[in-house]
Amino acid sequence: MKRSYTVVIEKDETGGYVGEVPGIPGCHSQGETVDELMAHMKEVLELCLECLPNKEVPDSFVGVRKIAVPA
């Protein structure tokens, strides 16, 4: 059985990409491209899931929104 997880991706200051899975401490990685990042994220997510005591991730992720404020 496969389960899907949300990966939050941001561009870093060097032009690469960083990603994290909300709700799983330490589950983050980086890559030069989004494809490379996602390959790394798959590996790190599998490792993080092995380390979770009950192998379950709380389904508490709600979403990502942007907000504008005066500069």
CATH architecture observed for domain 1-71: 2-Layer Sandwich (3.30)
The identity of residue 67, as a single letter, is I
Chain segment 33-70, per-residue pLDDT in tens: 999 999 999 999 999 988 877 766 666 777 788 899 99
Residue 12, pLDDT > 70, answer yes
The pLDDT assigned to 68 comes to: 94
Residue 28, pLDDT > 70, answer yes
The pLDDT assigned to 58 comes to: 64
- Indicate the domain borders of the chain: 1-71
Residue count (the chain): 71
Query: Is the entire prediction scored with pTM above 0.75?
Result: yes
Q: Which two tokens stand for residue 69?
A: 């404020």
Burial of 12 (0-12, 13-18, 19+ CB in 10 A): exposed
